């Protein structure tokens, strides 16, 4: 059984196919979405060992030529050197304009692979097979690609949409618990910005979700993809409502950068960011105490608020000022009004920001 969500972007529209076990059928699904006969599969070793053969076998069944290129694992590899390594390999293989790059892995492989596909011969076909929870609900959808550069995350990149996103939730079985919870942070975020029913569902079914119950996961992933697809269709280049997706990310990115992308996973950083955004909303009298509490309670139950080391308030504040969305010294925050509704605020008083940071630091040891 395959669930299809169409991401509508005119002639660049594409399907997100979701189904337990569909990696086995990737050949036929890819064939119907893209005309290429040669496939370049970008992956990392550990993922390739687990799932690579299923994918390449399924593609080869249609007589396609398949090259697999595993890169080393980790965010640290998301740089210009790896990008050029990939492009060089493709050139050596004499791949032409009509080939297709398939990413099999987490957000790192997806982002760098998408970027390579967008610039190789000015753009070739590209298919995403995300294998982490975070990539399945977020990174693989919406066409943001890129690499970290000059010490700055995602500094160079492009908007480049795939022909297909193929999501098999079964592969999450092998994902470790911490990585799984980091993906759940983004799902909670979707609930916070747009879907109070899903938020409630997570509250009620948390045990089943944390045990990776296939039905529960399928439903969360489908709902998340649907929300992201809708938002991206309406605002591909983030001039309006796509910015909602940054809920929790202004502080989240600052913390990740401050800690040098160690200590905290992306989802953990975003969880602190959501805690902080909710607190700011409370200070600005945008939301009620109970909205704030409900959010914090859920994030706590998912164990996302457990690891914040001490940080310099001033330095983290300065990092927020460097945020891509901050302009002329004003930080743009996505704040909450109630579960399922957010608002963009550019005029949050500095004193509120600093006092919320103080409170975060004071309370984090108590979480």
Ligand X SMILES: NC(=O)c1ccc[n+]([C@@H]2O[C@H](COP(=O)([O-])OP(=O)(O)OC[C@H]3O[C@@H](n4cnc5c(N)ncnc54)[C@H](O)[C@@H]3O)[C@@H](O)[C@H]2O)c1
Active site residues: 122, 144, 186, 228, 238, 242, 246, 249, 253, 266
Among 135, 184, 218, 251, binds ligand X (CB under 6 A): 135
Work out the end-to-end distance of the chain between its first and last CA atoms, rounded to an integer number of angstroms.
41
The strands making up 65-71's β-sheet, listed across from edge to edge, are: 3-7, 14-18, 164-167, 125-130, 100-105, 38-44, 65-71
d(CA 172, CA 151): 30
Q: Which residues inside 215-244 make contact with ligand X, applying CB under 6 A?
A: none
Task: Read off the tokens for 77.
Answer: 């590899």
Q: From the CB of 106, what's the least distance to ligand X, in Å? A: 2
- The stretch among 83-91, 107-115, 213-221, 231-239 that binds ligand X (CB under 6 A) is 107-115
**How many C-beta atoms surround the C-beta of residue 193 within 10 A?**
23
Among 179, 222, 224, 295, binds ligand X (CB under 6 A): 179
Q: Does 161 bind ligand X (CB under 6 A)?
A: no
Q: Which residues inside 45-64 make contact with ligand X, applying CB under 6 A?
A: 46-47
- The stretch among 9-17, 69-77, 115-123, 338-346 that binds ligand X (CB under 6 A) is 69-77
Q: Does 108 bind ligand X (CB under 6 A)?
A: yes
- The stretch among 103-111, 199-207, 280-288, 339-347 that binds ligand X (CB under 6 A) is 103-111
Residue with tokens 């196919």: 17
d(CA 55, CA 291): 44
Q: Does 195 bind ligand X (CB under 6 A)?
A: no
Among 38, 266, 319, 325, binds ligand X (CB under 6 A): 266
Task: Give me the helices (H) in the chain, please.
Answer: 26-33, 45-47, 53-60, 80-92, 107-119, 133-134, 177-194, 196-204, 206-210, 214-234, 249-258, 266-283, 289-301, 313-321, 350-364
Q: Does 252 bind ligand X (CB under 6 A)?
A: no
Distances (CA, A) of 4 to 1, 67, 334: 10, 27, 30
Task: By CB under 6 A, name the binding residues for ligand X.
Answer: 44, 46-47, 73-75, 78, 105-109, 111, 131-132, 134-135, 138-139, 142, 144, 154, 171, 174-175, 179, 266
């Amino acid at each position: 059984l395959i669930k299809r969500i169409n991401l509508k972007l005119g002639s660049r529209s594409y399907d997100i196919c979701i189904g337990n076990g569909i990696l086995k059928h990737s050949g036929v699904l890819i064939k119907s979405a893209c005309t290429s006969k040669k496939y370049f599969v970008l992956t990392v070793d550990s993922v390739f060992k687990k799932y690579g053969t299923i994918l390449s076998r399924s593609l080869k069944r249609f007589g396609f030529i398949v090259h697999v290129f595993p890169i080393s694992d980790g965010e640290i590899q998301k740089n210009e050197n790896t990008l050029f390594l990939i492009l060089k390999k493709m050139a050596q293989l004499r791949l032409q304009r009509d080939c297709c790059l398939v990413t099999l892995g987490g957000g790192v492989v997806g982002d760098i692979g998408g970027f390579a596909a967008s610039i190789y011969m000015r753009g070739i076909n590209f298919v995403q097979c995300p294998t982490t929870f975070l990539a399945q609900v977020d990174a693989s959808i919406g066409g943001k690609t890129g690499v970290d550069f000059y010490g700055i995350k995602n500094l160079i990149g492009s908007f480049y949409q795939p022909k297909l996103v193929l999501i098999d939730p079964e592969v999450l079985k092998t994902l470790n618990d911490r990585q799984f919870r980091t993906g759940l942070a983004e799902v909670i975020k979707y609930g916070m910005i747009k879907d109070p029913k899903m938020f409630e569902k997570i509250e009620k079914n948390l045990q089943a979700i944390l045990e990776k119950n296939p039905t529960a996961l399928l439903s969360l992933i489908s709902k998340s993809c649907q929300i992201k697809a809708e938002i991206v269709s309406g605002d591909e280049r983030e001039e309006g409502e796509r910015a909602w997706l940054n809920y929790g990310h202004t502080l989240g990115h600052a913390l990740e950068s401050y800690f040098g992308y160690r200590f905290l996973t992306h989802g953990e950083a975003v969880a602190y960011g959501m805690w902080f955004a909710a607190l700011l909303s409370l200070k600005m009298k945008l939301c009620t105490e109970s909205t704030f509490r409900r959010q914090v309670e859920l994030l706590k139950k998912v164990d996302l608020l457990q690891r914040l080391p001490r940080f310099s308030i001033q330095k983290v504040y300065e990092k927020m000022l460097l945020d891509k969305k901050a302009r002329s010294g004003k930080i743009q925050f996505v704040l909450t009004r109630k579960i399922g509704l957010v608002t963009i605020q550019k005029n949050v008083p500095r004193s509120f920001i600093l006092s919320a940071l103080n409170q975060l630091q004071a309370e984090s040891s108590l979480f």
